[in-house]
Structure 1
Amino acid sequence: MSVGQLCLFFAGIKTIQYFIVLVGPTAQFDTSTSLLLERFSHHSQVQSWWNTRFWNKLVSWDAAYFLKCVIVGGPEFEHERAFSQVWCQIVRFFCGNNFELYHVLRTAVALENCVNLAAAILLYWLTSKVFKANTLKLHQRSRLAKKAAMLYIASSGAGFFLGLYSEPLSALLSFSGLIAREYAVSYDVYGNLRCSVLRWPLYSIISVLCFTAAAANRPNCILLGLIYINDLVSLIKTKRIFQATFMPLLGGSLMLSFFLLQYHFLPYQEFCPERGGWCHKMIFNLPVTYQSLYSFIQSHYWNVGFLRYWTLNNIPNFLIALPNFVVMWFSTVYFSIQYPCSNLKPLILLTKAFLVILLLFAHVQIINRISSFIPLHLWYIADRLNKSAVTREEDMKGDDKLVKFYILWLIFWIPTQTALFASFLPPA
């Protein structure tokens, strides 16, 4: 599949989604959008035909915060610091010196689509590289990469990825880092990790920069650091201490240091001790807290915390999250037992940790959009689709039936969620 074909598929999916936005109701469930538009734009502009029927509808949920952040130049209130300042500043850069609301909105939409398409193309490349090491023939890798990229484009993120959300940027950075690491490492016949010192820049500079930037954009991407922990343990087991020290240990330490600097140390320097609250949660009276400003905001303003979401009224949100939870968990089992791949062990660990944390601590329905930086479940679905293509329906296995159900769910979910998003209706 050529890049041109991927671009055509991307354009087709987005055209359908934007058409759904266009024909949807003009009235929105929440007033956040109208209040933002009234503050930063003239009434006549807000009420124009195209703006009323299309552009205004893209300013739903978190998109309203991102749009405001770009226009103002940063967070105005404490809770707005939960939204990626990295993404806001990138959009702001591409806006030039014109921060008129609809110019910013159009720029952000164009940029989001470019980033999302670039991430899909990188996923195609990453898939081809990863499964080259797993002895798949060229035509098999090509089909697998094609399906994985198409699944990324037609993802459960749906309406969230039409405008100003930051997840596509993290996916782009995550896939870039994974590609760099994949070219830097190899595996022997026993499945033991080998790191070439000659490719040290790929591993300890490029992959670290990409993963660190992904975590700076979205804190959940700090889980990419588990890849370095996995590699460190693997190299120590085979007594490759030099490579272990100057590749995963160094890379992981740099990533963690920057994360602590951004989310713990710098906020403390800016707000503490006057802010109180989380400022008092200091580590050994050092000028740094064990709770980050981000986690405090999530806990204080959105009630994020251990089992806080486990209430009867949130059962619908658990059901909305269920398809991705099931598919992602089965992907870890599949690549551990049925189709074991040595080079996928770090991603299996990452996926399991992601699911456990999300299930116990987060608003579970956000899995539909924030899982986009992990490719494991896309490879699972793509591989089963390839295999089921030559299997009679009566011979289909449990995995094939699960994947078939997931695809049918996507066909229902993508247009439905797009319409809900355009009307500022749940789920968030």
Structure 2
Amino acid sequence: MSWLTRSPIQHPYRSLISVFVLWKAFLLLLALLTPGPGYDTSTTLAQWHRNTSDIQGLIPTILRQISTKLTRWDAIYFTEAARRGHLFEQEWAFSYAFSKFISLLAAGSEHTGTFSYEFKESALGVAVAYVAHATSAVILHRLVCTFLPGMQGRRLAFIAACLHILSPGGLFLSAPNAESPYSLLSFTGALLFARSFSVSGISTSSQDGLLVLAGITYGISAAVRGNGLLNGVVFLEEAIRVFYAFTRDFSFPKLRRLAAVGFAGICTGLGFVLPQYIAYQHFCDNHNPTGEVSSREWCRRAIPSIYSFVQDHYWDNGFLRYWTLPNLPLFALASPMLAILVYSFFWTLNVESCDTTKRAFPTGQLTDRLLRSLATPQIILTVMVFFCNHVQIITRLSSGFPVWYVWIAALIVDSHTASSSAKGHLKRSGYGRIIVQYMVIYAAVQGVLFASFLPPA
């Protein structure tokens, strides 16, 4: 990683695309060279996999093979829902918005005749994942540059963006999954949120407009992945701060800011609620010929959320349910990522007095506040996954949260700025290189497991 810290970084986006292409090519090669369908043959049972009559030519054959290798695990649900819609309750655990988007792309490609093969939903889902992942790396670079200006900030931003490319999410960020689109939307929302602040503390109307756009973007991210709802916490914090300032001294800019943050929070919530409402209409708001309401158990709840019901009923998620002895290896597998997320959160609480941070980049009051705000959804997700979910999924869910990338980047930069006499600091900064090695090794091993349909990918 030493070459990443050379300054100045003259062409960051060109360099990021180069890193992206090389890394993705490596992971794709691993997937294509992985033998056999693995222990689960779900993908090979798909109609588009069994029917090869319309596959003619080298490029379609390669695309079909790539689609087969990358349509694993959750991607099967996404692509099937894109092909014929969400039919069964358990499918609503997988993004209605993302599947609908792929369905629209597939319909458009078939209508125009540009891509009409039966495996088009899988192939287009892969394409969307690649584009979204590359773009999210660029957006993360812009985000870090926003609150860390100057050459040192550009260097750290470039490293953080590279770390996102090397995310332990691995092939989940290349497959027709929601991880890459969520990362793009999450980083874009964070960028708009960061740019909505003024150094003077008094926001302009255009900055308040950016805050609303951040809420809309976060709302779309919540529609793509349910945990995107956690991003709304940043608006709650801003609302409390503005309301406190508003009660002390009334002004129209403060009132406008309070209205903007309230609307942004509503938009974020709607992104989570709207898919639930569509599901409610599909399963609950209907009648049989006798006029009686045909209703599932979750339809009669005070808050009829199909998402929470599916997670509980089909995937057995719940408080401490995953805490069983057979799952202990999965906790061990997730422990490095859990530790990274927790440690980077506490780093943001003490960022202004941290020696490592001072050597890596200069911070200010606004930078410290933004880092803490953006780290809050990250720690909430970490606690929720640790106590209530299948814990190993944290390695890919973490890909859409920006702060831990910044923390690791600061460790790496610090390893090149600390004096040789600062042995304790050099030891701590060496953790950055160890984490990068973990990310690369984990993503490579996970890529083989993913393509072979073997757990615990």
Flag whether TM exceeds 0.5 (same fold).
yes
Q: State the partner residue of 1:67.
A: 79
Q: Deviations over 1:277-303 (max 9, x none)?
A: 111212xxxxxxx24101111111110
Task: Please say if 1:320 is aligned against 2:325.
Answer: no
Structure 2: runs of 5+ lacking an equivalent: 1-10, 111-115, 285-292, 354-367
Task: Please say if 1:379 is aligned against 2:406.
Answer: yes
Going from structure 1 to structure 2, the CA distance change for 1:52 and 1:247 (only over 3 Å counts) comes to closer
Going from structure 1 to structure 2, the CA distance change for 1:38 and 1:373 (only over 3 Å counts) comes to closer
Structure 1: runs of 5+ lacking an equivalent: 133-137, 283-289
Deviation at 1:400, TM superposition (A): 2.2
Inter-partner Cα distance in structure 2 for 1:116 and 1:253: 27
Q: Deviations over 1:301-320 (max 9, x none)?
A: 11011111111111111111
Q: State the partner residue of 2:287.
A: none
Deviation at 1:16, TM superposition (A): 0.5
Preserved CA contact (<8 Å) 2:279 2:306: yes
Question: 1:105 aligned to 110, 122, 142, which one?
Answer: 122
Preserved CA contact (<8 Å) 1:40 1:101: no
Q: State the partner residue of 1:30.
A: 40
Q: State the partner residue of 2:51.
A: 41
Q: State the partner residue of 1:135.
A: none
Task: Please say if 1:299 is aligned against 2:299.
Answer: no
Over aligned residues, Cα RMSD in angstroms? Answer: 2.4
Task: Please say if 1:260 is aligned against 2:280.
Answer: no
TM-score of the superposition, structure 2-length normalised?
Answer: 0.83
Inter-partner Cα distance in structure 2 for 1:246 and 1:165: 35
Preserved CA contact (<8 Å) 1:79 1:297: yes
Q: Deviations over 1:133-178 (max 9, x none)?
A: xxxxx21111111001000001011011222011111111111111
Preserved CA contact (<8 Å) 2:43 2:49: no
Say which is worse superposed, 150-159 or 388-397, in terms of deviation: 388-397
Q: State the partner residue of 1:10.
A: 20
Letter of the aligned partner of 2:296 in structure 1? G
Question: 1:278 aligned to 298, 321, 324, which one?
Answer: 298
Task: Please say if 1:170 is aligned against 2:182.
Answer: yes
Q: State the partner residue of 1:80.
A: 91
Going from structure 1 to structure 2, the CA distance change for 1:147 and 1:51 (only over 3 Å counts) comes to closer
Task: Please say if 1:425 is aligned against 2:451.
Answer: no
Preserved CA contact (<8 Å) 1:26 1:57: no
Q: State the partner residue of 2:361.
A: none
Q: State the partner residue of 2:242.
A: 235
Question: 2:435 aligned to 402, 406, 409, which one?
Answer: 406
TM-score of the superposition, structure 1-length normalised?
Answer: 0.88
Preserved CA contact (<8 Å) 2:75 2:177: yes
Deviation at 1:259, TM superposition (A): 2.8
Deviation at 1:55, TM superposition (A): 3.6
Inter-partner Cα distance in structure 1 for 2:54 and 2:271: 45
Q: State the partner residue of 2:392.
A: 365
Question: 1:213 aligned to 213, 220, 225, which one?
Answer: 220
Number of aligned positions between the proteins: 408
Question: 1:126 aligned to 108, 125, 143, which one?
Answer: 143
Inter-partner Cα distance in structure 2 for 1:326 and 1:266: 37
Q: Deviations over 1:199-224 (max 9, x none)?
A: 222112x1121000000111100001
Inter-partner Cα distance in structure 1 for 2:49 and 2:141: 42
Going from structure 1 to structure 2, the CA distance change for 1:338 and 1:422 (only over 3 Å counts) comes to same
Letter of the aligned partner of 1:224 in structure 2? N
Going from structure 1 to structure 2, the CA distance change for 1:339 and 1:328 (only over 3 Å counts) comes to farther
Q: State the partner residue of 2:342.
A: 329
Deviation at 1:356, TM superposition (A): 1.3
Q: State the partner residue of 2:203.
A: 195
Q: Deviations over 1:313-353 (max 9, x none)?
A: 11111111111111111111112114361222211222221
Deviation at 1:52, TM superposition (A): 8.2
Going from structure 1 to structure 2, the CA distance change for 1:275 and 1:100 (only over 3 Å counts) comes to farther
Inter-partner Cα distance in structure 2 for 1:354 and 1:68: 28
Going from structure 1 to structure 2, the CA distance change for 1:93 and 1:209 (only over 3 Å counts) comes to same
Letter of the aligned partner of 2:454 in structure 1? L
Mapping 1:143-158, distance limit 5 Å: 143-158=155-170
Deviation at 1:229, TM superposition (A): 0.4
Deviation at 1:100, TM superposition (A): 3.1
Deviation at 1:125, TM superposition (A): 0.6
- The residue matched to 2:198 in structure 1 has which SS? strand
Preserved CA contact (<8 Å) 1:71 1:104: yes
Going from structure 1 to structure 2, the CA distance change for 1:53 and 1:259 (only over 3 Å counts) comes to closer
Going from structure 1 to structure 2, the CA distance change for 1:69 and 1:262 (only over 3 Å counts) comes to closer
